[in-house]
Amino acid sequence: MKIGIIGHPQSGKTTMFKVLLQQDISGNIGMFRIEDFRIEKISKIFSSKKTTYPEFTFVDLGVISGFDKKRDLDNCQDIDLFICAVDAFFKEDPKSDLESSITDYILSDLEVIQTRIARIQKEHKKGDAEQELKVLEKCQRGLSDGKLLWKAGLGPNEEKLISGLVLLSLKPLIVAINASDQDVEAKEAKIKTLEEYCRSRDICCIRFFGKIESELLELELEERKKFLKEMNIESNLREDISKLIFKELDLITFFTTGAKETRGCYLKSGLSVIEAAGKIHSDMKRGFIRAEVVNFEDFIKSGSIHKAREEGVLKVEGKSYVVRDGDIINVRFNV
């Protein structure tokens, strides 16, 4: 999964990028590790030599503040979700910045869709092209009404028909409001206006304190936590972003474990265990026989795999089993 950080100049997008990656890196691409206490707990129980967390690729899209230029589209083609930073501390009208970014989304998509519609109509294509045209016209109507395609209610088959197009508003969007400092009383009205606007568009938003959190990067993790607690700052940008990414992309986490390694993997909600096997290794999917599955909560109550098996909460499942969040999976396979 690839996450793109966007925003107007001086919005705090690069600061947020550094805070999320927990380091002051010089490039614009980095790996974001998903924190999950369950992985640590499982690893400790099994005395695993290695603990591996799920990761996303984060991209700071830099100078891109809008999407009306064709050259920008290539940078966003493989992005799965956007995080838009909005400065609510120094900007007098941050809501206007956010509205302009969303308008850029819509105008960019309208141009792409109208170009594609014109081409299909010119070539008089039939079959799948006719179905695609219907979907494109549906998208055009939604965009013309100011809707983001991500909220347009497109079904999986409809999305598949237009998957070859770079449609930015088809990607989920999270808004990160940069309050900059802990003293936000003077800016509270602007922040609340932004939050109300996001709610009106059904867009998730969070607050973060860019100035403070970037300064804390020089401290060790435990010292950072202690300092934030003393400053009465309850938000945790990394945890908040992790939760929202999983929610907006409809992801769950499953685990594999043993003496060598405990590993957390993300998976689209509703997928079967054979797809989970493929996330671990392609050979496991190809030679899948069965899977031993116990959910984290049941495993913790039992205290061990042996007891979980005795109590009947560890079950043998076939390839059609739908994975649940927190499942600990041991795949049996042969290739």
**Among the ranges given (24-28, 118-122, 130-134, 291-295), the one the predictor scored with the smallest mean pLDDT:** 24-28
How far apart (Å, rounded) are the C-alpha atoms in residues 324 and 252? 7
Domain layout of the chain by residue ranges: 270-333
- In this model, does residue 221 exceed pLDDT 70? no
pLDDT value, residue 96: 87
Q: Which residues contact 254 (CB under 8 A, 6 or more apart)?
A: 264, 265, 267, 276, 323, 325, 326, 327, 328, 329
Which of the four pLDDT bands, split at 50, 70 and 90, describes residue 71? Answer: low
User: Residue 186 — very low, low, confident or very high, per pLDDT cuts 50/70/90?
Assistant: low
* Domain 270-333 CATH superfamily: Beta-grasp domain (3.10.20.30)
Positive or negative, the CA dihedral 49, 53, 57, 62 is negative
- Residue 326 in this model has a pLDDT that exceeds 90: yes
What is d(CA 322, CA 325) in angstroms, rounded to the nearest whole number? 10
Over residues 309-321, the mean pLDDT reads 95
pLDDT of res. 68: 44
> What pTM value is reported for the model?
0.86
The torsion of the CA quartet 17, 23, 27, 33, rounded to 10 degrees, works out to: -70
